[in-house]
Structure 1
Amino acid sequence: MASFPRPLFPTAARCGALLTAGLWLVGCNQTPPVTEAPAAATPAPVPGPDLVTLADSNAASVLREYGQQYPGSELVLHTRHGDMRVRLYDDTPIHKANFLLLARKGVFDETVFNRVVNGFAIQGGRSDHRTIRITPYHLPPEISTAHFHKRGALGMARFDDEKNPGKLSSNTDFYLVQGEKLTPDQSQAMAGRPLTAEQQRVYATVGGAPSLDGKYTVFGEVVEGLEVIDKIAAEPVTPDKWPVKDVDIKIDVLK
């Protein structure tokens, strides 16, 4: 139960002192003047476009402009299992700007990890209690051979593959790769494109999910707190892979 401040009415023993000191200009048998509490400060609006104005037709151009005006490169993703420090890639400017915008607007703070597949990936960005209004726009792909699905990779999900030949990304559904360690032959056989020798080495020593390469946009990676992915991936889940106990998300942009 919340506690309230004690009332500031003078007691009988202190009446003379209070009146002498001029703290009250009324007698002790009178009700002291009532003062109104100061109004709470209104938070400053978060810069950037109104999320309901974004659409497939303008998202790319609006987000590029936003990213140039309000740059950023690192953020911390807080969960009840710990924190993950994430670095965003400069050569995926649309996805980067979109993630920064939604993080700063508080959209991800109203979401949870809603799909968890142990040994593969954890996906977040949805919830049953979102209040911030946002339209379901899509992002053009920024798939690069330089970025692959190693352990800790941050990528954007997409839906309706048959109706989405352009591989447009979701605007809110992101995932973090857990994956597993694979031999060079295994990773190359699973990958959706040729892998470099260095990428094969990373899959063998660090692990990942090469089956996603060339199909989804990777736009960042976890640089601290990789163990948090394992803890979330180990959560008991429902038949549709939603954790039985919600794993809430809160994101702070660092710089």
Structure 2
Amino acid sequence: MNRLFWTFGLAALSLGSCQQQAPVQEQATPAAPTPPPVPGPNLATLGDSNAVAELRAYGQQYPGSEVLLETRLGTIRLRLFDDTPIHKANFLLLVRKGVFNETVFNRVVKGFAVQGGRTENRTIRLGRYHLPPEITGQHFHRRGALGMARYDDDQNPGKLSSSIDFYMVQGEKLTPYQAQAMAGRKLTPEQLRAYETTGGVPSLDGKYTVFGEIIEGLDVLDKIAAEPVDAYKWPLKDVGMKLKVVQ
């Protein structure tokens, strides 16, 4: 419960003299300086018609490469890829604007992935827009991959990414045969080796944009994935997040 404290100024009176002293004036407390606005496009005005151009310009003017994701279970360090410039710029912009700080991990599937970025209690105005796919064979869904969610193929044949729903891959270790069968396409020797030694989810390859990876805190990812969840895969105890660009 919030408590309100009221301060009253007291006038000093001299009762031993017929001369009344002047009231004591309280010193006004200087107001805290208003922090400067975070540079970048107005989130409320972003839409499918202008988001790509705005984000491309933002990414060039305000670069970044690493983000810290802090939770009650520990801290994860993320590295963003330069060859997915639209997704990278969008993530940096939303982190700097504090958008993800209002959200929680809203879908957790152990052995698969954890997803966050959406909330029903948003105070920051955010336009509705999508991101064009930046899918490359170089970045795949190995353990620790950072990607952007999207709608299914029937509603979204262009594989456009959500602007706010991101996920981190936990996955499981797979034999080359298992990985190849799940992928539905020919995997490279590097991919087969990664899925066998560190794990991942090859069934997502070629369908979702991977734009970064965990470079520290894989154990925290496992802790989030191990949280008890309800029937909708929402953790029974919210796992909130605070993100900041650190490099």
The answer as to 2:212 corresponding to 1:194 is no
Residue matched to 2:125: 133
Kept in 1: contact 2:9–2:25 (CA 8 A): no
CA contact (8 A) 1:192 1:215 kept: no
Q: Secondary structure at the match of 1:194?
A: coil
| In the alignment, structure 1 residue 225 sits paired with structure 2 residue 203 | no
Q: Secondary structure at the match of 1:211?
A: helix
Q: What TM-score results when the alignment is normalised by the length of structure 2? A: 0.91
Q: Give the secondary-structure state (helix, strand or coil) at the position aligned to 2:162.
A: coil
Is 1:45 matched with 2:37?
yes
Shift of 1:193: 3.1
Q: CA deviation at 1:198?
A: 1.1
Equivalent in the alignment of 1:33: 25
SS of structure 2 residue aligned to 1:52:
helix
Instruction: Give CA deviations for 1:200-254 in whole Å, capped at 9, x if unaligned.
Output: 1111111111110000000000000001111111111111111111100110101
Q: Name the aligned partner's letter for residue 31 of structure 2.
A: A
Give SS of 1:164's match. Answer: coil
Task: Note if 1:156 corresponds to 2:178.
Answer: no
- 1:136-190 deviations in Å (ceiling 9; x for gaps): 2000000000000011100000014202100000000000000000011111111
Kindly tell me: are residues 7 and 210 of structure 1, through their superposed partners in 2, closer, same or farther at Cα, counting changes over 3 Å? same
C-alpha distance in 1 between matches for 2:162 and 2:87: 10
Whether the 8 Å contact between 1:63 and 1:97 is mirrored in structure 2 is: yes
SS at the partner of 1:173? Answer: strand
Distance 1:243 1:32, change over 3 A: same
Name 2:16's counterpart in structure 1.
Answer: none
Alignment partners' CA distance in 2, 1:73 and 1:246: 28
Equivalent residue, structure 1, for 2:136:
144
Aligned equivalents of 1:236, 1:130: Cα separation in 2 = 25
Q: Residues 120 and 177 of structure 1 are in contact (CA less than 8 Å); yes or no, is this contact kept in structure 2?
A: yes
| Partner Cα distance (1:57, 1:142) in 2 | 18
Question: In the alignment, is the contact (CA less than 8 A) between 1:192 and 1:213 conserved in 2?
Answer: no
Q: Which runs of 5+ in 1 are unaligned?
A: 12-26
Matched, 1:74 2:66: yes
Alignment partner of 1:252: what SS? strand
Q: CA deviation at 1:60?
A: 1.3
Q: CA deviation at 1:195?
A: 1.3
Separation in 1, partners of 2:64, 2:210: 17
Q: Which moved more, 1:213-222 or 1:152-161?
A: 152-161
Which of residues 64, 78, 87 is equivalent to 2:56? Answer: 64
Distance 1:192 1:216, change over 3 A: farther
1:97-176 equivalence runs, <5 A? 97-176=89-168
Q: Say if 2:40 and 2:58, in contact at 8 Å, map to a contact too.
A: yes
Mapped partners of 1:193, 1:84: distance in 2 = 31
**Map 1:85-96 → 2, pairs under 5 A:** 85-96=77-88
Residues 40-91 of structure 1: CA distance to partner in whole angstroms, max 9, x if unpaired?
2111000000012111122111111110000000010000000000000000
Query: What is the aligned-residue RMSD (CA, Å)?
Result: 2.4
The alignment of Structure 1 onto Structure 2 pairs a total of residues equal to 242
Q: Which sections of structure 2, spanning at least 5 residues, go unmatched? A: 13-18
My pick for the range that moved more, 116-125 or 154-163, is 154-163
TM-score, normalised by the number of residues in structure 1: 0.88
When you count helix as a share of all residues, which structure comes out higher? 1
Q: Name the CA distance, whole Å, in 2 between partners of 1:221 and 1:160.
A: 23
In the TM superposition, residue 192 of structure 1 has moved relative to its aligned partner by 4.1
